[in-house]
Structure 1
Amino acid sequence: MPVEFIISSKHPYDAGLQVSKCSFHPREPVLACAIDGGKICLYHKQHIECKGAAELIVPLSQWNETVLNPVPTQHPISGISCLQWDVEGKRLAVGYENGTLILWSRDGCRLFERRKHTSRIWSIRWNPILLNVFASGSNDRSALVWDADKKPSPLVQRFVAHDGDQIHDVVWISDIQFASFSRDQNDGIVHICQMGRETPIMTFVHGDSIDALKWNGRFNLLASVSSSSDKQLLLQVWSPIRRDPIRRLNYADKSRVGCVDWFPPGRESDSLFIVGGCADGSVIVWNLNDDEDQHQTLYGHSVAVNDVSFSPDRRWLASLDRDGYLIIRLTTVSYVHNFANHIHLPIELVPQDWRKVYEAKTGPNHWHQTLSWSGSSDKLAVTNVLSEVFLVEIID
């Protein structure tokens, strides 16, 4: 049976609302969208008794809608800069341009509101092991660690970047350690911080301004990528227990890479793949198990790729460029036929093809990290600068 891709859209600005970011609930068909005025709109897919696969599709415009309105109680509310659900989907953390952070429960209760940052919050990341803990990184050069269950004050610790740069992203690498970096550092410094320690326990020097940083939890590896003005592309892979990279791939005459993603972990025997979205519209695939540093280049975009993202089930690779052109590729093509049930079942989840299976225009997009997969891997949300939200649903 062929796979169907069905796209629908929502235009919140028709109701006087503008949308910027979105985040899918990890377990339920619930999409959280950041809209103007600091509000959060939760779109809930209605449960419909259906007889056929086509009836499973409900256009996003028909999803139920709940608005979480952060009426200011302590601090003025500004625009939303980032948002993320926790691992279980019980809480949604929202960061604002003015440094305010608000934590909401799944049912729409405001759990707390704090303004411990003094400037834009660039990143919020939940700890995948200590499920009540998350970190936030800000323009004010600080990374804060929070405990959602700690009362009366949820703030656990403040880390200040000693090199004086704003923190663009924080990435958890264990239950008590995270990595942080700034895109403004010319030498590309990555700090490894640990809860309970006031100063970084380790520092990696990438060697050039870092464009993206990504952690692979199965293999405990950190990837950093940079592109210099002389078209030198540098990808490095680090172990958190070593100061020097364990893998260094340096390419000449390569376009700038602004986003990367690891092929999601599966089995210990899986090959290590990293994909990167480039300024010239290409997507690079690195196989880190290849000693000869071989890489594959995928084409299809004509302008800079702003986001690349694998689906949680490892089956799809989505890429989005500045014009809002979306491409979904198939990563798995090995199947065995089940003659008893007359269906095809995958036997290996190893990238072999990367062929395009879906393309769509969603409108101009100048932001990074605007793709959000549902936990079930059958829905992909996309936002754009025209304040539209697009939903791609996959029927197998």
Structure 2
Amino acid sequence: MDICHEAPVKCLAYSPDGKWLATGSEDCTIILWDSEGQLVQEWVAHAGEVWSIAFSPDSRHLASVGFRREHAVWNVMPGQGAPKAMILEGHTGLVVSCAWSPDGTLIAAGSGDKTVLLWDARTFQLLHRLNLFTLEQHAHAVTHITFSSDGIRILSASSDGTVKIWDAFSGALILSLEGHTCGVNKACFSPCGKYIASASSDQTVWLWSIDDGSCVETLFEHRADVRHVAFSPDGMTLSSGACDGTVAIRHIRDIILVQDTDM
């Protein structure tokens, strides 16, 4: 299934309840789709391109960050009018990534000003400003950082074409995933924690085993830089968005079952 924005897709996210897929684009909009790929809502979210989006654990809110240090939280309740935003402030540099804590009480955003800010998700008050520790061994810029669901590991993607797994407490390098021929724009853990998916400017999506760092599958569905990739909540579907405005959705159940059988 392919669906289009009017400009390159920058980010996408599944709601934890599996009902919605949200996509953000350089056309300044966020589109909410149902599980069948039908458009549910579309709205202009930021004055510039939408860099990152993340659903709250209860699937009722969507955090988004956009060009010019913009960070908003939207209520996602289809059928009850246009989404309304609560604006979060505090960053002094370009905001490139956002995330919710697993219990839904905190909202975090990472920025080009080399900080991570934490807000109370109930009051939207700024709580902490954290200085990022340096992730060494990448040859070029780190393009994306995410935590594992248990908070023990950190996954970093880089324009040097690698994906690295780090110990979140010591900062020690655990594993380096190498194989892409261009920069990696996004990487994510599967819900079960056994796999990693990476999206690259080499127009491919790679599926990796976290046990030994081997490539399980290389997916060639796009004809442009792949900017984003995400697993469905059950881990059996993988979605990716590319610079040509397309979103590819593919079932990976058979791939996962074969790998789990071989382990």
TM-score by length of 1: 0.51
1:35 Cα deviation from its structure 2 partner: 0.7
Deviations 1:275-295 (A, max 9, x none): 333333333332457x69354
Q: 1:120 touches 1:140 (CA, 8 Å); kept in 2?
A: no
Partner of 1:178: 107
Is residue 36–residue 79 contact of structure 1 (8 Å, CA) maintained in 2?
yes
Residue of structure 2 in register with 1:221 after alignment: none
Percent of paired sites with the same residue = 21
Residues in 1 aligned to 2:242 and 2:97: alpha-carbon distance in whole angstroms: 21
- Matched residue count: 251
Cα displacement string for residues 246-295 of structure 1 (whole angstroms, at most 9, x for unaligned residues): xxxxx367443323444443xxxxx9333333333333332457x69354
- Structure 2 residue 27 is matched with structure 1 residue 35: no
1:160 aligns with 2:89: yes
| Kept in 1: contact 2:8–2:26 (CA 8 A) | yes
Corresponding residue for 2:163?
A: 283
The residue that corresponds to 2:142 in the other structure is 257
- Paired residue for 2:69? 141
Contact 2:163 2:176 in 1 (8 A): yes
Matches within 5 A, 1:191-210: 191-195=117-121, 197=123, 199-206=125-132
| AA at the equivalent of 1:205 | N
- Counterpart CA distance in 1 for 2:90 and 2:11 is 20
**Residue identity in the other structure for 1:194:** D
Distance 1:83 1:292 in 2: 28
Shift of 1:102: 4.8
- Unaligned runs of 5+ residues in structure 1 are 1-30, 38-77, 207-224, 226-233, 236-250, 266-270, 332-350
Whether 1:372 and 2:252 are equivalent positions in the alignment is no
Q: CA deviation at 1:91?
A: 3.6
What residue number does 2:261 align with?
Answer: none
Divergent runs of 4+, >6 A: none
Aligned residues: CA RMSD: 3.8
Q: Aligned equivalents of 2:181 and 2:53: distance in 1?
A: 31
Deviations 1:71-121 (A, max 9, x none): xxxxxxx776544332213344444545444545557474x5554633322
- Using a 3 Å threshold, how does the CA distance of structure 1 residues 176 and 153 change in structure 2: closer, same or farther? farther
Assess, with a 3 A threshold, how the Cα gap between structure 1 residues 325 and 272 changes in structure 2: closer, same or farther: same
Structure 2 contact 104–121 (Cα < 8 Å) conserved: no
Of structures 1 and 2, the one scoring higher in RCO (CA 8 A, sep 6+) is: 2
After superposition, the C-alpha distances for 1:122-155 in whole angstroms (9 at most, x for unaligned) are 2221111x33122222224332222234956742
Partner of 1:354: 213
Q: Is the 8 A contact 1:321 1:365 kept in 2?
A: no
CA distance in 2, matches of 1:257, 1:156: 29
TM-score by length of 2: 0.72
1:274 aligns with 2:154: yes
Alignment check: 8 A CA contact 1:82 1:94 kept: yes
After superposition, residues 308-387 of structure 1 pair within 5 angstroms as: 308-331=187-210, 351=211, 353-359=212-218, 361-362=220-221, 365-369=224-228, 371-385=229-243
Q: 1:143 to 1:382 in 2, by over 3 A?
A: closer
Letter in 1 for 2:62: F
2:9–2:243 contact (8 Å) kept in structure 1: no
- Structure 1 residues 300 and 127, CA, compared in 2 at 3 Å: closer, same or farther? same
SS in 2 for 1:258: strand
Cα distance between partner residues in 1 of 2:184 and 2:48? 28
- Residues 1:125 and 2:125 aligned together: no
